[in-house]
Amino acid sequence: MIMKNDFFQREIVLTSVPFTDNIRFKVRPVLIISNNKYNKYSSDYLVINISSTANDNYYNLDILTSDLENGKLKLESKAKCDKIGSLEKENIKQKIATVSPAFFKRVKERIHALIN
């Protein structure tokens, strides 16, 4: 059974990220890439970072307003497909958007290129 606070693949959520001093935190968006079956049973999500300051490279995809099914990002941002991490569910603050299936397909293609 999916709980009220569960999040899903393709959703952009906000999470607290520690500064290097591990005392202060900043809130940053990430994109959930793990599938919903995994998300249902795991205590973590697999995510990629989203940044408004990312440089241009093959693994960074611009996220346009047209790439969002719902919600919005405050700043022009890029999905950093080469910055994959694990995020504990309890560290998610809220959902802010969902990317389109077409955009997510491009994310998966970049990740596939990274590991192939």
Q: Is the pLDDT of residue 5 over 70?
A: no
Asked if residue 33 belongs to a domain, the reply is yes
Among the residue ranges 8-12, 30-34, 50-54, the one predicted with the least confidence is 50-54
The answer to whether the CB of 31 falls within 8 A of the CB of 47 is: yes
Q: What are the b/e assignments for 47-62, b being 16+ CB within 10 Å?
A: bbbbbeebeeeebbbe
Asked if residue 6 belongs to a domain, the reply is no
11-18 sheet: strands from edge to edge: 60-63, 77-88, 44-51, 25-32, 11-18, 92-99, 68-71
pLDDT category at 21 given cuts 50, 70, 90 is confident
Asked if residue 66 belongs to a domain, the reply is yes
Residue 1 has what pLDDT? 38
How does the average pLDDT of the chain come out, rounded?
Answer: 91
Residue 3 has what pLDDT? 46
Asked if residue 25 belongs to a domain, the reply is yes
Which residue range(s) make up the domain with 28? 11-115
Half-sphere CA count of 8, side-chain side, radius 13 A: 9
- In this structure, the number of other CB atoms found within 10 A of the CB of residue 80 comes to 20
Asked if residue 45 belongs to a domain, the reply is yes
d(CA 100, CA 70): 9
Average pLDDT over every residue of 102-109: 98
The conformation of residue 4, written as its DSSP 8-state character, comes to: T
